[in-house]
Structure 1
Amino acid sequence: MPETSARVGIVVRTKDRPMFLERALADIRRQTMHAWRAVVVNDGGDAAAVDRVVQGLPEPDRARTAVIHRTEGLGRSAAANAGVLALQTEFVVLHDDDDLWDPTFLEASVAWLDREPADAGVVSRTEIVYERVEGGRIVETGREPFWGEMTRITYADMLQVNRFVPIAYMYRRQLHDEVGLYREDVHAAEDWEFNLRVLRLHTIGYASDRVRAYWMQRRGQEGVLGNSMFVLADEHDLYDRMIRDEALRSYVAANGDGLPLYLARFVQDEVERQLAAQRSLGRYATEAARKGWRRLRGR
């Protein structure tokens, strides 16, 4: 299929995980919508292993799958940007090498964005799939909903914590022209920071009708086969705090420190009040139980 017919650009970030890369490319090939182009970004891993996987694709799919080899690993954000910059498609989605889609993901996401032109992107309902690697095989061990109670994507909710993962999110490529690329100085939580920039200006839709994205997790798996969510847990916390501190300092520079000073003390006092109330309730319950026990013994 010629590139001019591709509406969706798929960025596949990978490094030294040919088993997952092969599964990810097979997942893309199973999509019911075929108007896509993929860019595999090898972030400093074994180039020969990546080339073997891509060369193993059927010719039509191999022709629309490009590969970018980076001689050194520059991180998740830089890899995402390299893929985005190589694409000129209408829509973009990040398909990391270890995650998966329902076969209708592309078709349903494009249909949503065609139907809802005001939405900057659309998130699909997501399921967490637990798995482990055993003797060269990937074995599923369980599933659970990811934010199963969620009904929409809001900026207010995203201020608390990221409500969706890259595999579930298709967005309009022009957003990068408007709000910029992924921040390359943020090596974890880069998607959350980008999402916040988008949500300040636009709405993001939520396709809740069925699960179409699968966030694969391997708890306890260390090294190259681990999930960034766990392997980079400390970095996620570091960059979460950094992003919040930058935003706070920016707010104070423009508005003064009155409101943050007030809220910092208010939150501290409210937490202490609630803890004290819980301790009082606990003492009351304990004393009531003791009195009841004394009455029973006195009979």
Structure 2
Amino acid sequence: MGAPCVSIIVPTYNRLGTLAELAESLSRQTFQDFEVILVNDGGEKVDLIQTLYPHLNITILDLPMNHKHVYARNQGVLQARGEFIMLMDDDDLLVPSHIERMVNEMNDCEFAYSDVEIINYRLENGSRIPIARTLFAYELDLEEMRRFSTYVPSGSLYRRELHEIVGLFDTEVLHYWDWDFFLRVAETHRVKRVPVAGVLYEYSDESSNQSKNFASKRRCLERFGQKHGLGVLANTNFFLLLDEPEVNKRKSESRIVWDGSPVISKLRREPT
């Protein structure tokens, strides 16, 4: 079997239910020339995903202990064979046209990211049912991106060779690895924002989203600011970010493509 066009890197830790929903959304993609590298970061076994979705080209890397998501992503990158890498969190989802659209956008850039919808869910019979959605779409301004990042890594696509030039993700800035990677790439390569909300970003009261952990973020933010010469930065999350005047002025229109339907995985549709 030849190398796939895209390698999708997914670190995961004890979230089999949402991981199955992600696999379901990948199985619905209009573009299927991709591999999925699941990096199980010392958590419960995820082999069931391969059983439920045998038509997906899935490789599972079982790490013997939990190293946190940045280290896990790096392990996935080292195993990637595709021309492009797409990043995904294990609780985010893609609309069916997303991978095809992003691959088509790579003719004039080395790195592309799309707009997202931030989704709040409730649980029903083990599946996430959407109850609220907020568009997160902002103009790309490289200078402003040094002050407030509006880059969401899930669903972003870039050329694998970038890692040979800028290195792997920085585990020392754990909560800001994505912002750090964006700034490092943007210094020397062409980056693009795709004004289509092709990613459903999970942010719910019931989730264990690490970006809510403000106490542990402060130290990483200080390291990040020192690394990039940015001084004191605001310790905030997406929803607080929306209220910042500097960010509000960058708010942009975007194409909404999700029909609002929940993604019910085979884990919930079929007996296991």
Residue type of the alignment partner of 2:203 = Q
Query: Of 160, 173, 177, which residue of structure 1 is paired with 2:164?
Result: 177
Contact 2:173 2:221 in 1 (8 A): no
**1:125 lines up with 2:112 in the alignment:** no
**1:159 lines up with 2:146 in the alignment:** yes
Question: Against the structure 1 CA distance between its residues 132 and 238, is the aligned structure 2 distance closer, same or farther, given a 3 Å change threshold?
Answer: farther
- 1:140 aligned partner: 130
- 1:26 aligned partner: 24
Residue type of the alignment partner of 2:197 = V
Query: Of 214, 218, 228, which residue of structure 1 is paired with 2:210?
Result: 228
Output the CA distance in 2 between the equivalents of 1:81 and 1:108. 25
Output the CA distance in 1 between the equivalents of 2:141 and 2:2. 34
**1:76 lines up with 2:62 in the alignment:** no
Output the CA distance in 1 between the equivalents of 2:12 and 2:38. 7
Output the CA distance in 2 between the equivalents of 1:161 and 1:139. 30
Query: Of 173, 176, 182, which residue of structure 2 is paired with 1:195?
Result: 182
Report which structure shows greater RCO (CA 8 Å, sep ≥6): 2
Output the CA distance in 2 between the equivalents of 1:234 and 1:7. 39
**1:212 lines up with 2:193 in the alignment:** no
Deviation at 1:134, TM superposition (A): 4.6
- 1:244 aligned partner: 225
- 2:255 aligned partner: none
Question: Against the structure 1 CA distance between its residues 134 and 234, is the aligned structure 2 distance closer, same or farther, given a 3 Å change threshold?
Answer: farther
Q: TM-score, normalised on structure 1?
A: 0.73
- Gaps in structure 1 of 5+ consecutive residues: 252-259, 261-299
SS at match of 2:17: helix
Higher helix fraction (1 or 2): 1
Deviation at 1:66, TM superposition (A): 0.2
Deviation at 1:130, TM superposition (A): 1.0
Question: Against the structure 1 CA distance between its residues 46 and 198, is the aligned structure 2 distance closer, same or farther, given a 3 Å change threshold?
Answer: same
Query: Greater CA radius of gyration, 1 or 2?
Result: 1
Deviation at 1:110, TM superposition (A): 0.7
Query: Any residues of structure 2 matched to 1:26-105 within 5 Å, and which?
Result: 26-47=24-45, 50-58=46-54, 60-61=55-56, 64-105=57-98
Deviation at 1:121, TM superposition (A): 1.0
Deviation digits for residues 214-235 of structure 1 (CA, Å, limit 9, x no counterpart): 111113x3xxx411221x3333
Contact 2:39 2:75 in 1 (8 A): yes
Contact 2:7 2:36 in 1 (8 A): yes
Deviation digits for residues 273-297 of structure 1 (CA, Å, limit 9, x no counterpart): xxxxxxxxxxxxxxxxxxxxxxxxx
Number of residues paired by the alignment?
231
Deviation at 1:83, TM superposition (A): 0.6
Deviation at 1:187, TM superposition (A): 1.9
- Give the root-mean-square deviation of aligned CA atoms: 1.7
Output the CA distance in 1 between the equivalents of 2:8 and 2:2. 13
Output the CA distance in 2 between the equivalents of 1:184 and 1:113. 27
Output the CA distance in 2 between the equivalents of 1:96 and 1:198. 20
Output the CA distance in 2 between the equivalents of 1:137 and 1:90. 33
Contact 1:122 1:204 in 2 (8 A): yes
Contact 1:130 1:141 in 2 (8 A): yes
Matched-pair identity in %? 26
Output the CA distance in 2 between the equivalents of 1:168 and 1:29. 15
- 2:263 aligned partner: none
Contact 1:43 1:70 in 2 (8 A): yes
Q: TM-score, normalised on structure 2?
A: 0.80
Contact 2:74 2:168 in 1 (8 A): yes
Residue type of the alignment partner of 1:27 = S
